[in-house]
């Protein structure tokens, strides 16, 4: 069974990971980050959860918001890999696409948790 509270924590931690990569000027695996089926939550959403929770509106929303989050995280990672550190930092600011996608996926996970009673 998926620990959705842990999934929220893991996705919230991405901002810290991205900031760390900016600070250390690290290269990131953009193609993996962009995929929504590589992390524990994504594997669960696309696999084990589908038969039971797939029909729920909150599950569908979670899949969509989760995919959007990974696309935005990959855009930030791409900027980091190009050495555009200022741009990457700006992309992480409140109100920008990454922050909005991050908030939306956390909200969607919470909604699924409530509707599915997990």
- What is the rounded average pLDDT for all residues in the chain? 97
- Provide Rg for the chain, Cα atoms: 14
Show the domain range for 67: 4-116
Q: Look up the CATH number of the domain holding residue 22.
A: 1.20.120.30
pLDDT of residue 1: 81
Overall domain count for the chain: 1
Long-range own/partner contacts, residues 9-15 (CB < 8 A, 24 or more apart):
10/39, 10/40, 10/41, 11/39, 11/41, 11/66, 11/69, 11/102, 11/105, 11/106, 11/109, 12/102, 12/106, 14/69, 14/73, 14/102, 15/92, 15/98, 15/102
Q: Give the per-residue pLDDT at 20.
A: 98
- List CB contacts of 26: < 8 A, sequence separation 6 or more: 20, 80
pLDDT score of 10 more than 90:
yes
Task: Tell me how far the alpha carbon of residue 96 is from its chain's centroid.
Answer: 15
pLDDT single digits (tens) 57-106: 999 999 999 999 999 999 999 999 999 999 999 999 999 999 999 999 99
Q: pLDDT value at position 105?
A: 98
Structure tokens at 69: 């989050």
């Amino acid at each position: 069974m998926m620990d959705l509270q842990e999934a929220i924590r893991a996705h919230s931690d991405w901002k810290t990971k991205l900031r760390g990569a900016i600070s250390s000027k690290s290269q990131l695996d953009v193609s993996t980050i962009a995929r929504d089926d590589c992390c524990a939550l994504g594997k669960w959403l696309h696999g084990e959860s589908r038969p039971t929770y797939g029909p729920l509106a909150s599950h569908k929303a979670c899949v969509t918001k989760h995919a959007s989050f990974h696309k935005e995280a990959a855009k930030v990672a791409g900027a980091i890999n190009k050495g555009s550190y200022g741009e990457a930092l700006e992309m992480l600011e409140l109100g920008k696409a990454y922050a909005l996608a991050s908030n939306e996926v956390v909200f969607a996970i919470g909604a699924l948790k409530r509707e599915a009673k997990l």
